[in-house]
């Protein structure tokens, strides 16, 4: 156990503090007694002037007044008693270890940077951005990602400032809807065809949402265009009358995961998880969190052994220390940080979701963590892990 307060309040500061409070207690006590007795003497003389009968009651009142004054003055004794107890507690009472860790012999003096599997030792003096020394304490910054933390810091504002994006609209008449293939909270998805090239495509018609959200998705898809296993954005169109925007994507002949996953072999599972990891590593290296990784958003063409990570509507640019909305990801794939409303999360959010997917594929249990609400979801996780 560590006496936490002992490291914060030095003894030379505590000593004059207690002497001052002790003296103050005596000062208040005597001042109060003198004031009460002086008032009582005046009242006694007043009662005495009105006659013998009332003098007796006045004297009795005077005695009670003095008695009550001394009783009320017991409070400084209690004050000093509790101050003594507090003093002992501050110096000797063992308290629970706080989040601020004291440097001890057991505290690691060397850290390792495991990025890209390079175990490079890093001394404490070289990671001042992760630690702040306060007196003789070390405060660890938990809000910064361990990988790709400064991607958007080092890049120009135009890369991540999606609000200033000027959308270049294509021709909606170049595309025709063939059939509906799915729907989501923010959009409806159709299989379509490009009338000029006769190529199949996916048409994602967005529901009425804020322009800011639409621009964010478009900007992220443009930044990730050409990345490994990232669905390719082909065009952006808008209805001339309703002004409803639609996103045109490459076509993937995917199989429903509820049908596909039970048929996958051990090698298939490892292969597709590896392909998904490549997509996530790429988007993270570009300073982007997906925030909605789940089987529904991983399209697999098993015949061509092709995987695409889709639905970037909840994706966001990562900035160190920034607080984000916790109402992202589907409940069964939410990380514990989201379930406890921790807002300063990072890319690791996607890795938890991928782990839930991986476990579901291996153990043939979908979803792997099945909670009825956020609290129950956390309970299910705790029971298994």
pLDDT tens digits for 105-156? Answer: 333 444 344 444 444 444 444 444 444 444 444 444 557 999 999 999 999 9
Q: Are 151 and 285 in contact (CB under 8 A)?
A: yes
Instruction: Label residue 27 by pLDDT band (50, 70, 90).
Output: low
Residue boundaries of the structural domains of the chain: 4-92, 102-141, 154-250, 257-384
Question: 257-384 sits in which CATH class?
Answer: mainly alpha
CB atoms within 10 A of CB 190: 20
pLDDT tens for residues 150-209? 999 999 999 999 999 999 999 999 999 999 999 988 999 999 999 999 999 999 999 999
Which tens digits make up the pLDDT trace of 294-331? 999 999 999 999 999 999 999 999 999 999 999 999 99
Between these two residues, 313 and 32, which has the higher pLDDT value?
313
pLDDT on residue 100: 42
User: Both tokens of residue 312?
Assistant: 């970037």
CATH homologous superfamily, domain 154-250: Phosphorylase Kinase; domain 1 (3.30.200.20)
Q: What is the pLDDT of residue 106?
A: 38
- Whether the Cβ atoms of residue 271 and residue 304 lie closer than 8 Å to each other: no
List the one residue out of 83, 86, 80 whose CA is nearest residue 25: 80
Tell me the per-residue pLDDT of 56-87, one tens digit each, with 9 for 90 and over.
444 444 444 445 444 444 455 555 666 677 66
The pLDDT value recorded for residue 31 is 59
Q: Which of 1-15, 22-36, 326-340 has the lowest mean pLDDT?
A: 1-15
Q: Is the pLDDT of residue 47 over 70?
A: no
Catalytic residue among 235, 292, 346, 350: 292
Structure token pair of residue 365: 């249990």
pLDDT at 20: 56
Q: Is 256 a catalytic residue?
A: no
**Is the pTM here over 0.95, yes or no?**
no
Residue 204 marked in a binding site: yes
d(CA 176, CA 190): 10
Task: Please give the pLDDT value at position 350.
Answer: 98
């Amino acid at each position: 156990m560590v006496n936490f307060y002992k490291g914060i309040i030095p003894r030379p500061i505590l000593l004059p503090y207690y002497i001052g409070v002790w003296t103050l207690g005596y000062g208040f006590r005597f001042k109060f007694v003198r004031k009460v007795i002086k008032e009582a003497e005046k009242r006694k003389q007043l009662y005495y002037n009105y006659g013998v009968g009332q003098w007796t009651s006045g004297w009795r009142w005077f005695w009670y007044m003095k008695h009550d004054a001394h009783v009320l003055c017991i409070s400084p004794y209690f004050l000093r008693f509790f101050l003594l107890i507090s003093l002992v507690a501050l110096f000797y009472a063992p308290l629970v270890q706080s989040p601020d860790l004291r440097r001890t012999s057991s505290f690691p003096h060397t850290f390792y940077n495991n990025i890209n599997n390079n175990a490079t030792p890093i001394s404490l003096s070289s990671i001042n951005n992760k630690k702040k020394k306060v007196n003789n304490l070390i405060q660890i910054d938990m809000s910064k990602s361990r990988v790709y933390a400064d991607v958007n810091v080092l890049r120009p504002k135009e890369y991540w400032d999606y609000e200033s994006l000027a959308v270049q609209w294509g021709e909606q008449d170049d595309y025709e809807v063939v059939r509906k293939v799915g729907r989501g909270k923010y959009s409806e998805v159709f299989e379509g065809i490009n009338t000029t090239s006769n190529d199949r495509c996916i048409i994602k018609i967005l529901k009425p949402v804020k322009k800011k959200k639409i621009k964010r998705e478009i900007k992220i898809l443009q930044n990730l265009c050409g990345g490994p296993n990232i669905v390719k954005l082909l065009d952006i169109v808008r209805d001339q009358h309703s002004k409803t925007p639609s996103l045109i994507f490459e076509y993937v002949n995917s199989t429903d995961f509820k049908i596909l996953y039970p048929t996958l072999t051990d090698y298939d599972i490892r292969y597709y998880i590896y392909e998904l990891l490549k997509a996530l590593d790429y988007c993270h290296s570009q300073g982007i969190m997906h925030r909605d990784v789940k089987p529904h958003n991983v399209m697999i063409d098993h015949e061509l052994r092709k995987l695409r990570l889709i639905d970037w509507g909840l994706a966001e640019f990562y900035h160190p220390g920034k607080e984000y909305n916790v109402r992202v990801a589907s409940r069964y794939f939410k990380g514990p940080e989201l379930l406890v409303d921790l807002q300063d999360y990072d890319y690791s959010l996607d890795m938890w979701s991928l782990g839930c997917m991986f476990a579901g594929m291996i153990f043939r249990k979908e979803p792997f963590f099945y909670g009825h609400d956020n609290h129950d979801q956390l309970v299910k996780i705790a029971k298994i892990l």
